Amino acid sequence: MRLHPNRWNKIESNVTPSQALELGLSLSLTNLLYSRFQTKHDIEQFLHPGLVDRPMSDQLPAARRIDHAIKQGERIGVFGDYDVDGITSSALWARFFRHHGVEPTVYLPNRYTEGYGLNPVSIALVSDIDLLITVDCGVTSVQEVEQLTQQGVDVIITDHHEPCEKLPDTMVVNPKLDGYPFADLAGVGVAYKLIRQLGEMGYDLPQGLIELTALGTVADVMPLVGENRWIVQQGLQALPDTTITGLKILMRELKLPLEVKASDLAFRIGPLLNAAGRLDSPVPAYQLLTERDPLQLHRIIQDLITANRTRRQATDAILKDLNDRLETIPPMIIEKSRHWLAGVLGLAASKAAEKYRRPVILLTEADSLKGSGRSIGRFSLLQALQANQSHLERFGGHQVAAGLELERDNFQSFKQQMEAYAGEVLTDEDTLASFDYYPVETNDIQLDFLDQLEQLEPFGAGNPAPLFRLDQLRLQRIRLMGKNRQAAALEFLNGSRMIKMVTFSVTESDWVLGEKYDLLFRMERNNFQGVSQLQLILADHRRSEFILTPKSPLFESEIERLWQLVLSYDPHVEQTGLIGLYRAYQHGVKPAEQLGDLAGNDPDDLAELISHLPTRPDLVKTYRELKKNSDGIDLRSQPDALRLNLQIKLFESLGLLTYTKNDFYMKLTWHDEGKKLNLYSSDFYRKSQRILEDYHELD
């Protein structure tokens, strides 16, 4: 039985002080590293990464073909993609070729008019070239490559996506082929390594390549281990002095710190560049990385900022629309609209899956339905689509994310079967948000521990920033911050030490001054006016002593348990009064630690039970108040939400209303026209009154 809405998983290994001494790190950090890696060698490889010293499939012949094209003055084309990985890959090649006096033809498709990758529409627009290099696409484009070859165009595929059984009949540079030891390079990482191969052949490499490669790697959510870790480390070091004029101006516009972090690439720069391709053409984002004129760049940046704002508004509009539609939360959320912007469906699905803890598929409606899905937990979205593919025109993806298309007439049957599939496969564990944390000593929470922790950066996919846990901290002070007052500075007392934390979401918190909390947090460095300070960022919290609230997973089951407990009451068992009450109460009893304060047969527990039973005056008062509130009820504002829920359940049993719940909110639909409030027609109410009579006879 779950007590809390989120799962906290303790991650540790049995390290010894001597192992920590060998690494020259604290015991807490050594424990963290050994929980992620098996051996000291693995840890040292992680802490000191490098590039793999062997070529990928066709890397050498591809480099020789490019060398030939440059020397012979051939016309070279680069075909990219509309996301940051494809944009940075294209900019990478443009920077390299221009450095050697070649002006390539760079082509970036429009997701709305052409779609992803090489396809009949896009290749018809590619002409007057001798050599075409694809970046971040092409590994499955067998027919398109054949058509280009017949037109006299040589093709080099550089891609990092999963290859099909049949490869295009040309050179294919892909880390997922030929047993290459690091399969998780981004598309821009593949391009970067091919350009480095040209460097080994004598070509001078221009500045700016590593920054672009780091940006594309982080934005494409590649795991920051192995070669990617080295790439991003080097790119972040180069960014403060980058020679890419557009990036330099953009970082100044965004007021990024001198020490740029991977999170800045992921959440500040990346979304801005992605916004162009999500709304229309990705070309402005490409121009930002290749243009040198400051006046032009300032205009491009403002256009990108505007596009990103529009992208955010479009995403928020979808989420609001979705929230208005969902009176109950099904096992899988599948919705469609002709008003939703296709380019932001994946973002909206991701946010919705995180909020509702359900797999989500969102579709935009035109001649057909096209859209994106995101999953949670261990639920495989790809397997779900495969199980119901008879309804689909096409689909693809993996466990967590997928794209799909289906005919409009198939929507309802597809939705019903997918919801039924999720109802059978989705588990309670899948619907839980899960946090891994590492044990830490209070004495470790200081700057010298953070100095060691920063050796694990850059943090991101595959190398998440570690979370730590402290228990039994008493809340002393709350100070709201930010324009919308949704952030807060919190002060806790841990023994005699004051612990300060920052949270960026206080809208659903039930913070109470003086209460004790268990906290999950991460550590960061905050540099302000030349002073370096340790900052703790709150990730999750719970009360140290369990208290039943509407947010608790037990809340619904406790309502049902009390309901059944009252219905099971038999005043004629042995005798009326206390013995009968005890037996009734024990009828549905569960372990006390799973039911808060309502699970025992102590007289105080009986008093707690009695306090939740409805009386006629209370029910009449509640009925009148509920009728006045047409917008629904926020359970957080109720002094006794459990008692109110029992009363509403009683009204439902009398046929007066039906209700739905979404998080803290309860929406009521009334069906009481022409009906009288006959409470005694409810078995629950009659039994409640008998329990109250027996209880008060004992006073």
Tens of pLDDT, residues 154-190: 999 999 988 888 999 999 999 999 999 999 999 999 9
Longest alpha-carbon distance in the chain: 105
| pLDDT at residue 558 in the model | 77
Q: Considering the domain 435-543 in this protein, what is its CATH number?
A: 2.40.50.460
525-534, 575-584, 603-612, range with the lowest pLDDT: 575-584
Provide the edge-to-edge strand list for the sheet that holds 154-158. Answer: 105-107, 76-79, 131-135, 154-158, 171-173
The amino acid occupying position 207 is: Q
Per-residue CA distances from 529 to 240, 408, 500 (Å): 18, 58, 19
Q: Give residue 605's pLDDT band: very low, low, confident or very high (50, 70, 90).
A: low
d(CA 487, CA 494): 22
Cβ 243 vs Cβ 485: under 8 Å = no
Quick check: 586 pLDDT over 60? no
* CATH of 59-308 given 1.10.357.10, 3.50.30.30, 3.90.1640.30, 3.30.450.20: 3.90.1640.30
**What are the structure tokens assigned to 224, written together?**
């920051």
Provide the edge-to-edge strand list for the sheet that holds 633-634. Answer: 633-634, 665-670, 657-662
Domains 59-308 and 326-433 are alike in CATH topology: no
Cα 689 to chain centroid, rounded? 49
Quick check: 596 pLDDT over 50? no
d(CA 33, CA 46): 9
Cβ 79 vs Cβ 148: under 8 Å = no
Q: Give residue 215's pLDDT band: very low, low, confident or very high (50, 70, 90).
A: very high
| pLDDT at residue 371 in the model | 92
**What are the structure tokens assigned to 262, written together?**
């991977």
Instruction: Specify the pairing of strand 497-503 against strand 516-528.
Output: unpaired
Question: What is the topology classification, in CATH, of domain 326-433?
Answer: Diaminopimelate Epimerase; Chain A, domain 1 (3.10.310)
Collect all residues with Cβ–Cβ distance below 8 Å to 218 and sequence separation of at least 6: 224, 232, 262, 265, 266, 270, 458, 460
Q: What is the mean pLDDT of residues 326-335?
A: 90
Cβ 381 vs Cβ 375: under 8 Å = yes
d(CA 570, CA 572): 5
Exposed e or buried b per residue across 633-659, where buried means at least 16 C-beta atoms within 10 angstroms of its C-beta: bebbeeeebbbbbbbbbbbeebebbeb
Q: Taking the domains of the chain in order of start, what are their residue ranges?
A: 13-40, 59-308, 326-433, 435-543, 554-697
Q: What is the mean pLDDT of residues 258-274?
A: 94
Collect all residues with Cβ–Cβ distance below 8 Å to 371 and sequence separation of at least 6: 336, 342, 345, 349, 361, 362, 363, 364, 403, 404, 405
Q: pTM of the entire structure?
A: 0.82
Q: Please return the burial class of 423, using the count of CB atoms within 10 Å of its CB with bins 0-12, 13-18 and 19+.
A: exposed
For residues 48 and 2, the model is more confident at 48
